[in-house]
Amino acid sequence: MAEAVVANNLVKRYGDFEAVKGISFRVKRGEAFALLGPNGAGKTTTVRMLTTLTSITSGEAYVNGFNVRTERLAVRRSIGLVPDVSNLYDELTVRENLLFMAKLYDAPRERVDELIREFELPADKKFGKLSTGFKRRATIAAALVHEPEVLFLDEPTNGLDVHSARAVRSLIRALNRRGMTVFITTHNMVEAETIPQRIAIMKAGRIVAEGKRSELAKLVGRKTVVRLSVEPMSSSLLRALERYNPSFEEGKLVFEVDNLDGFLEELCSLKVELGFRVTSLCTEIPGIEDVFVELTKCPCRGCPL
Amino acid sequence: MKVLTIAEKELREYLLKPGSISWGVVFPLVFTLAFAVRFGDVDHLAPGLLTISVLFGTTSFVSSSVIFERRLRTFERLLVAPVSYLEIVLAKVLTGSIFGLFVGLVSLLFLRFFMVYPIWSIPFLAVYLVLSAVAFSALGLYVSLVVENPINAMTWLNLIRLPMMFTSGAIVSLLLFPRWFIAVGLLTPMTYAVDGLRFAMLHYYDVVNPLYALLVLVLLAMVFVYLSVTRIERLY
Ligand SMILES: Nc1ncnc2c1ncn2[C@@H]1O[C@H](COP(=O)(O)OP(=O)(O)OP(=O)(O)O)[C@@H](O)[C@H]1O
Ligand SMILES: [Mg+2]
């Protein structure tokens, strides 16, 4: 099976409350995939279902080709989970923690030293005494002792300072580059911009949009903003660009364009023709944050509520 | 089987936790000593006091381990690993039993100091001690998994443990109570441990035939292990 994770119409009900309302998606092997959603969207619940930690109310899920309902041990053997809280054993040292995990998963002991070196972990410090950032790193390392095919990370950088968060993100990217399938959940935009190749935006138990970053950007119909200043400014230039509806902000011309490439091409030929100098040019491509805000605000288009 | 791997981790981790120490070591030993010093001739009290030590040692250890694991969510680390729930349950029962037997042995050393008669049968004593420890650990584990909020586990446990000290005949023989109270005694799991140990140490028993005591202890252990496994499946 080419897919690392398949979810078909997954539902999770807690009593009368439906936390996940029938979601479907596929994650290819080697891909980095993110579930992006606000608090309470159902991200953790989804991860817990996929990792056998909680039962599936209805629907089907496959991880590495194994049925999550009926082949729980096989699923567990092939995945690593970094839960939303770092949960190694406080009273054990980092090395003892990793050794325990290695024994639990029948992984070679050497793997532990390898991970301690790679993650630059303080091996002989008790886990409970580590800083939040190092707890996170150690928890990620613990999920990797058995070299799982799919790594699930639930809000991997939540609560970390900028430096630790960056370090963790680059660790995750490196794992993905080496071919590991990465499934993260997050409400952090930087993470959504930098780690996954594909994103599903989740809201109130449903997936409201899914695709590559560029595809999602198109979905909300935001245009690219171009800020331009030239010397000398001329009325012929303004006339030539009139159909882009320019406005002035702080002495700069501001355009909203659909097709950045076409716009720049036109600008270049005008430059040759009119002989002006570009003194500054900057573009703002709509980011995931714009898409996220657009799709998860309520009431909104694309939102089934 | 990963039972030993998990058990080793448990012992390293929880041996020194305050919950296991205060209720699991200090309480039974102080209790034993207090009775021994107060009554001097402890021979007839010895099996009951020993049972109390094992009961408190096992259940305190198991429940403090489950309380911490559920609260800090390290329990999920085991649940998501390629081990069955049965293996997890057996590992907890094993560590609880080891800890409880250790407390029991220390308490037995104290008691020996005050006892006049020799122990009737060491092998029988070993058998009933081990079976009691296993049954009590499984009971403690089940209770700790049943409470919604793990913080309350110790309270619930005391609500069960403290009355059992009286309804089991551990301190005052059930034969000294009205007849209907013997029925209460027979419904108390601890009664089987007390009478089993009484038989092993003193070669007589109050209400339960030693063979029945043995069978019931085995049965109790199996039932609570089974209930704990199904409880984990329900809980997650
Ligand atoms: N065990 C539970 N019992 C009842 N309701 C629950 C349970 N776990 C989660 N929920 C509810 O399900 C919904 C989804 O929760 P979930 O933790 O999956 O959200 P999330 O997207 O991970 O949010 P966050 O960003 O806060 O982590 C929430 O409304 C939550 O209150
Ligand atoms: Mg969450």
pLDDT digits (tens, 9 = 90+) for B133-171: 999 999 999 999 998 887 788 889 999 999 999 999 998
What is residue B16's predicted lDDT score, i.e. its pLDDT?
Answer: 67
Which pLDDT score is estimated for B148? Answer: 80
> Per-residue confidence at A293, pLDDT binned at 50, 70, 90?
confident
- Residues of chain B whose pLDDT is less than 50? none
Regarding whether A227 and A212 lie in a shared domain, the answer is no
By the 8 A CB rule, do A172 and A184 touch?
A: yes
Which of A175, A193, A218 delimits the end of a domain? A218
From the CB of residue A245, how many other CB atoms can be counted at a distance below 10 Å?
Answer: 10
A91 reaches B (C-beta below 8 A): yes
In chain A, residues 65-84 whose CB comes closer than 8 Å to chain B: 73, 76-77, 79, 81, 83
Answer yes or no: are the C-beta atoms of B6 and B91 closer than 8 Å.
yes
Query: Which pLDDT score, from 0 to 100, does residue A59 have?
Result: 97
Residues A141 and A232 grouped into a single domain: no
Is residue A166, in this structure, part of any structural domain at all?
Answer: yes
Number of domains in chain A: 2
Q: Are residues A82 and A126 in the same domain?
A: yes
Residues in a beta bridge with A281 = A228
pTM, rounded to two decimals: 0.86
CATH number, domain with residue A191: 3.40.50.300
Instruction: Give the confidence band of A12 by pLDDT, cuts at 50, 70, 90.
Output: very high
Residues A203 and A81 in one domain: yes
Residues A112 and A152 in one domain: yes
SS (H, E, C) B133-167: HHHHHHHHHHHHHHCCCHHHHHHHHHHHHHHHHHH
Q: Looking at CA atoms only, how far is residue A205 from chain B in angstroms?
A: 19
Structural tokens at position B135:
């049954």
Could you say which of A79, A92, A142 has the minimum Cβ distance to residue B13? A92
Are A152 and A251 in the same domain?
no
Q: Which domain holds residue B215?
A: 2-235
Q: Are residues A210 and A230 in the same domain?
A: no
In a domain, A250, yes or no: yes
Residue with token string 């403290």: B162
- Closest by alpha carbon to B171, among B208, B132, B198? B198
Looking at per-residue confidence, does A243 or A217 come out higher?
Answer: A243
Mutation choice for B interface testing from A64, A91, A97, A152 by most B CBs within 10 A: A91
pLDDT number for residue A44? 97
pLDDT of A51-63, one tens digit each? 999 999 999 999 9
Cα–Cα separations (whole angstroms), residue B28 to B94, B107, B108: 20, 8, 11
CB contact under 8 A, B81 and A105: yes
ipTM for this model: 0.90
Q: A54 to chain B: nearest residue by CA? A: B236
Bridge-partner residues for A23, per DSSP?
A: A10
Q: What is the pLDDT of residues A36-88, one digit of tens each?
A: 999 999 999 999 999 999 999 999 999 999 999 999 999 999 999 999 999 99
- Picking from B16, B72, B81, the nearest residue to A76 by CB comes out as B81
pLDDT at B19: 65
CB < 8 Å to B80, chain A:
51-53, 76, 79, 81
State yes or no: pLDDT of A220 exceeds 70.
no
Do A51 and A111 lie in one domain? The reply is yes
pLDDT tens across A107-131, in order? 999 999 999 999 999 999 999 999 9
The residue type found at B192 is Y
Decide if pLDDT at A218 tops 80.
no
B79 → closest Cβ in A53, A91, A101 = A53
Task: Determine whether the shortest distance from the Cβ of A16 to ligand 1 is under 6 A.
Answer: no
Single-letter code of the amino acid located at B200: A
Q: Which ligand is nearest to the CA of A21?
A: 1
What's the domain range around A112?
3-218
Report the domain count for chain B: 1
pLDDT for the residue numbered A236 = 87
The alpha-carbon gap from B1 to the nearest alpha carbon of chain A, in Å, equals 10
- Residue A49 Cα to ligand 2 middle (Å): 13
Residue A254: strand pairing partners: A227, A247
| Residue B40, pLDDT score | 66
Residues A207 and A251 in one domain: no
pLDDT of B210 reads 95
The three state secondary structure string of chain A is CCEEEEEEEEEEEECCEEEEEEEEEEEECCCEEEEECCCCCCHHHHHHHHCCCCCCCEEEEEECCEECCCCHHHHHHHEEEECCCCCCCCCCEHHHHHHHHHHHCCCCCHHHHHHHHHCCCCCCCEHHHCCHHHHHHHHHHHCCCCCCCEEEEECCCCCCCHHHHHHHHHHHHHHHHCCCEEEEEECCHHHHHHCCCEEEEEECCEEEEEECHHHHHHHCCCCEEEEEEEECCCHHHHHHCHHHCCEEECCEEEEEECCHHHHHHHHHHHHHHHCCEEEEEEEECCCHHHHHHHHHCCCCCCCCC
CA of A39 to the centre of ligand 2 (A): 7
Please indicate whether residue A248, judged by its CB atom, sits closer than 6 Å to ligand 1.
no
Q: Which residue has its alpha carbon closest to ligand 1 atom 28?
A: A40
Domain boundary among A218, A250, A268: A218
Select from A192, A218, A244 the last residue of a domain: A218
Distance of CA A227 to CAs A137, A223, A233, A248, A264, Å?
41, 13, 14, 9, 12
State both tokens at B86: 């049965």
Q: Which atom of ligand 1 is nearest to the CA of A38?
A: 25
| Cα A44 to ligand 1 centroid, rounded to whole Å | 7
Confidence category of residue A296, pLDDT binned at 50, 70, 90: confident
Residue A14, φ and ψ in degrees, nearest 5: -110, 105
For residue A300, the model assigns a pLDDT of 47
